[in-house]
Every structure is written in structure tokens, then in C-alpha cells.
């Protein structure tokens, strides 16, 4: 036995070293991150969300959901694109990060003064800037819409590389396509999607060769208009409808656009497996806001894009990370796009700056199964500068509003908002469509007090907040009107 003992000790020591080394390597490895941000996709616009339109088939996105966690109670930080995008990249409400409204198209006259001042401030620290400090290679591909290139462009916000068009495409017209700050082509909407997929795959391949973790912000132009799917994704009837409408609002061809989106998501997921990096890559797919009705659907919720009803904010959201979270999860816990940045920071062991307030929470404990409940219990529904509703778990209070009172209603909601003379209380657990006004004065008072706390920090249409930065625009952000000093 005396001769055997050293052998056992040696084997035990080797095993211990192997385990410790493997653990250390696992601790040091950083997950790749792909954030796929879809434009104007409603809650009911994917197969895995029970799409009622029989033309919507999304096998690739459905499989993504099956291999991760699908959220049924995920709220975008805004019901329009720019504030939503700024919030997901900063983890802060749009009213706090300085972009509560949308920059105007940079290729249309009349927006020069607006675009000089409206964009995501460079003082904001994006998730990209946090990850670069951890050695990540970073890229943004697709729709930017966070400000003009020479003042608020992607590479000024921390991205190593950018490919895309800053804004949406116009119906029937080509738009400028950029590589970094340089215009390199004029292309149409139908050409953009494959270019984004090619850029994403190329970037992944390059970073694997460089042995660097990567963060890709893949911001699709689909399923926003123009309603111009490529022919190979259309049925004969859908293509005939496109030929008739020529890119104008067209709910009939909307399913073809969703199928086209699914195809391109599938190509990216397939490449992850081919590169053998699927397990360690966190893939996040979410919509920026609700559907641009009548194209798309937010069923069973009311409203859509531009509105603070649930249909404007509650959107599909899926996270898959085989190395970090179990598969086959469906969560009805309240979460938000604001939680994406803190969750990514936790997954990459990145410390958040302490010089600013974050509005998001780390969802990893809940997604990994260590905790059952979401840390998020409340949410503020702003429309531009205006606080329109407040939520506490399943309770939601719509606040009084009057679209005829010009400055109280943000410009995109003027034709969609209805007058509300008194607060309206709903319970979303039993009333998803927000049709039943409840008479619970104690709860109304409680939520009104909560709304006042948000107003104190983030302001409202008629008051500044203690943590809302002052805009340099010489006018009213809600109306876009310039104030002429007398």
C-alpha cells in the first residue's frame, strides 16, 4: 500500500488541477453577444407567440425560443424606435438618457436644426463601451436612428464597425448605405437584409480567427415598411398584392416580411453552429416597439406603435444562452428592454459605472433558475416627455391626457391618443385589452403616488425632472416647435 499511495496522490492532484484549470478557463471566457433588434414586430407576429395569421411561419425563431427563454411580459422602453433603441443600449429610460424623441430623416429637408440637437448624447455610456473595456470586438449592422452620423454616429458611441443605413428606407427609393462613416452605395430596402446577414457572418468569422469575444447589434429594417418583401418569400397572391401596392402600407404581404426575417435569423444561427460557438453565444431577439397597425398584430393586447396601451410596449423577446440558462422556458414575469444592459454586464462580469442611475435589473438569477421572480415590479409608460401610464406588476393606471392640449402630447401620438379625463385603472392579469376600468380608489391613489415619484426624477410634459437632462434644442421636444425668444 505504501507504494500505491503516491500514485493515488498524483492522480488526485492531476484531477484537482484539471478541475480547477477548467473552472478558471470557464470563469475567464466571455460569452459572445448578438442582439437582434427587429423593427415594428408586434406581440402576435411570431409562431412561438401564437400568431393568428396563418401566413406567419417562423421555424428558426421558434427554435431559438425553444432552446432558451421566451418572455410574455417584456416591455420595450418606448413605443417608437429611437427612444427604444437608446434605452436598450444604455439601460436607462429615454427621458433619463436624453433621447425621448426621434431624430428626423437626414435625407429630407426641414430637419437640419432638429438633427443638430436630437440624438443619443455622447455622454451616455452604452453597453458597447462597457464591453470594449473587457476586450470585446463590437459592431452595429442595420438601422441606427440614434442621431446623424457626424454628431451621434455608431462609432462615436463605441462600435468598432458599422454597416447600414441610418434611418428607414423610403417607398420605391434607394437610400445611402454606409460602411463606418463612408457612403458606399445606394440600395433599396429589399437589398438590405442579405447585406446585414453577410456582414454579421463575416464579423463572426473574423473575430473567431482573432480569438476575440464579440458583441453584434443586428438591427433589422424588417418588418417596418416599406412593405416590400423579396419575391422568393411571397406566395403568388402576396406578390400580386405587392405589385399592386408598390411598397405602401399592406397588411396582406406582412407575413412574407416576417418569413423573410426568420430566414435571415436562421442563417446567423446556422453559422454559429458551423463555427462551433453556439453554446457560448448569448442571442437576444426582441422588437423595438409594437406593430405599425394595421400591419402586424399585438393580440391579445390593445394598441400598437405610438401608443402606451400594452400593444405599443409589450413585444416578443427571446434569450438563448446554452452555457448560462436552461432551455424550454416561458416566463410571464415582468421584464423590460431596460434590463438587457445589466443582464449582459452580469453575464460578462462587467461592473456598471457608479456615476449614473440605471433603470434596469440583472435577469440572470431568474433566467438561470436560481430565483423564481423578476426583480422588476414597476414600469413607467412615457410618450415623448409625457408620462401617460404607470404599472405595478399586473396593475396599470392610465393617467389623464388631452391631445388637444398641444404640448402635452408628443407629435407622433397627436392623431392616435384619445382624451382621458380621469385616471383609468386596469388589471392586466384579467383584462389584457385594458377595456375594464376598475373602481379601486386605494390602488389608484397608490399608483398616482408612484407616478409622482417618476415625475420628480424624469419630469413630464409640463415640468422638468431632477434627473432629466436639459435638451439643447431651442424649442419643445414634444411638438418640435422652435421657441423664439422675445
Question: What CA–CA distance (Å, rounded) separates 70 from 330?
Answer: 5
State the Cα–Cα distance between residues 45 and 63, nearest whole angstrom.
15
CA 480: distance to chain centroid?
A: 25
Pairing mode of beta strands 175-179, 161-164: antiparallel
What per-residue confidence (pLDDT) applies to 200? 98
Q: What count of Cα atoms within 13 Å lies in the side-chain half-sphere of residue 28?
A: 7
On whether the CB atoms of residues 235 and 256 are closer than 8 A, the answer is yes
Which band of pLDDT confidence, cut at 50, 70 and 90, is reported for residue 416?
Answer: confident
pLDDT at 353 over 60: yes
More confident position, 483 or 425: 425
* Exposure class string for 182-201: b at 16+ Cβ within 10 A, else e: eeeeeebbbebbebbbebbb
| pLDDT exceeds cutoff 70 at 324 | yes
The pLDDT score that the predictor gives to residue 418 is 85
Q: For the CA atoms of the chain, what is the radius of gyration?
A: 23
| Mean pLDDT on 425-448 | 97
Residue 106's pLDDT is: 63
Cell 398641444 found at:
406
CB-based contacts of 209, cutoff 8 Å, min separation 6:
none
Sheet holding 424-427, edge to edge: 378-383, 386-392, 395-398, 424-427
Confidence of residue 484 (pLDDT cuts 50, 70, 90): low
DSSP one-letter code for 47: G
264 as an active site residue: the answer is no
Q: Given 10, 48, 81, 264, which residue is catalytic?
A: 81
- pLDDT at 486 exceeding the cut of 90: no
- The pLDDT tens digits for 422-432 are 999 999 999 99
Q: Is the pLDDT of residue 316 over 70?
A: yes
**pLDDT value of position 415:** 81
Q: CA separation (Å) from 239 to 56, 228, 252, 258?
A: 15, 9, 10, 14
- Cβ contacts of 356 within 8 Å, gap of 6 or more: 92, 125
- Average pLDDT for 399-410: 88
- Looking at per-residue confidence, does 52 or 416 come out higher? 52
Q: Is 472 helix (H, G, I), strand (E, B) or coil?
A: coil
Model confidence band, residue 344 (pLDDT cutoffs 50, 70, 90) = very high
What are the pLDDT digits (tens) for 142-192?
A: 999 999 999 999 999 999 999 999 999 999 999 999 999 999 999 999 999
Q: What's the length of the chain? A: 486
Query: Does the annotation mark 145 as catalytic?
Result: yes
Q: Which of 145, 224, 264, 398 is catalytic?
A: 145
Mapping DSSP to helix (H, G, I), strand (E, B) and coil, where does residue 249 land?
coil
Mean of all residue pLDDT scores within the chain: 92
Q: Mean pLDDT lowest for which of 12-26, 113-127, 316-330, 464-478?
A: 12-26
If pLDDT is split at 50, 70 and 90, which confidence band does 30 have? very high
Cell of residue 205, nine digits = 468569422
The predicted structure's pLDDT at residue 485: 57
Determine the straight-line distance between the first and last CA of the chain, rounded to whole angstroms.
100
Average pLDDT over residues 7-34: 49
Give the separation between CA 125 and CA 158, rounded to whole angstroms. Answer: 9
Of the candidates 148, 146, 182, the residue with the CA atom closest to the CA atom of residue 163: 182
Whole-angstrom Cα distance, residue 464 to residue 467?
9
41 vs 155: CA distance, rounded Å: 27
DSSP 281-345: EEEEEEESSS--TTSS--TTS---TT--SHHHHB--EEEE-TTTS-SSEEE-S-EEGGGHHHHHH
Provide the strand spans (E) within 350-404: 378-383, 386-392, 395-398
Chain centroid, CA 162 distance in Å:
18
Going by C-alpha positions, the residue among 66, 102, 72 that lies closest to residue 87 is 102
Calpha distance 139→217 (Å, rounded): 6
Exposure string over 117-135, b if 16+ CB within 10 A, otherwise e = ebbbbeebbbbbbbbbeee
Amino acid at each position: 500500500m505504501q507504494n500505491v499511495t503516491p500514485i493515488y496522490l498524483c492522480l488526485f492532484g492531476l484531477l484537482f488541477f484539471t478541475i480547477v484549470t477548467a473552472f478558471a478557463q470557464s470563469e475567464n471566457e466571455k460569452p459572445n453577444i448578438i442582439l437582434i433588434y427587429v423593427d415594428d414586430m408586434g406581440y402576435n407576429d411570431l409562431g412561438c407567440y401564437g400568431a393568428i395569421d396563418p401566413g406567419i411561419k417562423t421555424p428558426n425563431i421558434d427554435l431559438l425560443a425553444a432552446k432558451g427563454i421566451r418572455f410574455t411580459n417584456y416591455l420595450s422602453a418606448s413605443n417608437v424606435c429611437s427612444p427604444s433603441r437608446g434605452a436598450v443600449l444604455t439601460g436607462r429610460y429615454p427621458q433619463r438618457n436624453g433621447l425621448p424623441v426621434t431624430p428626423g430623416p437626414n435625407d429630407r429637408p426641414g430637419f437640419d436644426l432638429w438633427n443638430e440637437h436630437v440624438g443619443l448624447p455622447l455622454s451616455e455610456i452604452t453597453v458597447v463601451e462597457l464591453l470594449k473595456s473587457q476586450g470585446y470586438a463590437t459592431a452595429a449592422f442595420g438601422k441606427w436612428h440614434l442621431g446623424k452620423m457626424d454628431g451621434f454616429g455608431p462609432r462615436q458611441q463605441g462600435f468598432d464597425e458599422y454597416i447600414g443605413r441610418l434611418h428607414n428606407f423610403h417607398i420605391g427609393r434607394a437610400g445611402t448605405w454606409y460602411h463606418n462613416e463612408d457612403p458606399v452605395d445606394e440600395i433599396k430596402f429589399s437589398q438590405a437584409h442579405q447585406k446585414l446577414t453577410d456582414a454579421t457572418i463575416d464579423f463572426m468569422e473574423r473575430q473567431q480567427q482573432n480569438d476575440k469575444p464579440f458583441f453584434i447589434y443586428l438591427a433589422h429594417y424588417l418588418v417596418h415598411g416599406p412593405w416590400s418583401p423579396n419575391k422568393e418569400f411571397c406566395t403568388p397572391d402576396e406578390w400580386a398584392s405587392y405589385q399592386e401596392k408598390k411598397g405602401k402600407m399592406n397588411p396582406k404581404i406582412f407575413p412574407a416580411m416576417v418569413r423573410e426575417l426568420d430566414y435571415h435569423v436562421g442563417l446567423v444561427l446556422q453559422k454559429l453552429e458551423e463555427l462551433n460557438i453556439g453554446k457560448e453565444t448569448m442571442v437576444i431577439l426582441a422588437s423595438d416597439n409594437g406593430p405599425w397597425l394595421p400591419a402586424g398584430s399585438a393580440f391579445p393586447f390593445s394598441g400598437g406603435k405610438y401608443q402606451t396601451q400594452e400593444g405599443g410596449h409589450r413585444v416578443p423577446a427571446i434569450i438563448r444562452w446554452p452555457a448560462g440558462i436552461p432551455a424550454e422556458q416561458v416566463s410571464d414575469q415582468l421584464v423590460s428592454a431596460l434590463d438587457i444592459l445589466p443582464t449582459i454586464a452580469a453575464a460578462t462580469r462587467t461592473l456598471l459605472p457608479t456615476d449614473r442611475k440605471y433603470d434596469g435589473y440583472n435577469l440572470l438569477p431568474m433566467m438561470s433558475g436560481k430565483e423564481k421572480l423578476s426583480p422588476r415590479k414597476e414600469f413607467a409608460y412615457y410618450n415623448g416627455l409625457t408620462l401617460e401610464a404607470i404599472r405595478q406588476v399586473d396593475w396599470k393606471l392610465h393617467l389623464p391626457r388631452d391631445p388637444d392640449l398641444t404640448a402635452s402630447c408628443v407629435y407622433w401620438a397627436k392623431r392616435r391618443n384619445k382624451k382621458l379625463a380621469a385616471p383609468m385603472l386596469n388589471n392586466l392579469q384579467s383584462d389584457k385589452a385594458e377595456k375594464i376600468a376598475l373602481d379601486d380608489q386605494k390602488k389608484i391613489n397608490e399608483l398616482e403616488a408612484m407616478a409622482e415619484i417618476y415625475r420628480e426624477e424624469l419630469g413630464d410634459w409640463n415640468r422638468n425632472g431632477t434627473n432629466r437632462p436639459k435638451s439643447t434644442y431651442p424649442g419643445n421636444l414634444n411638438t418640435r416647435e422652435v421657441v423664439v425668444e422675445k
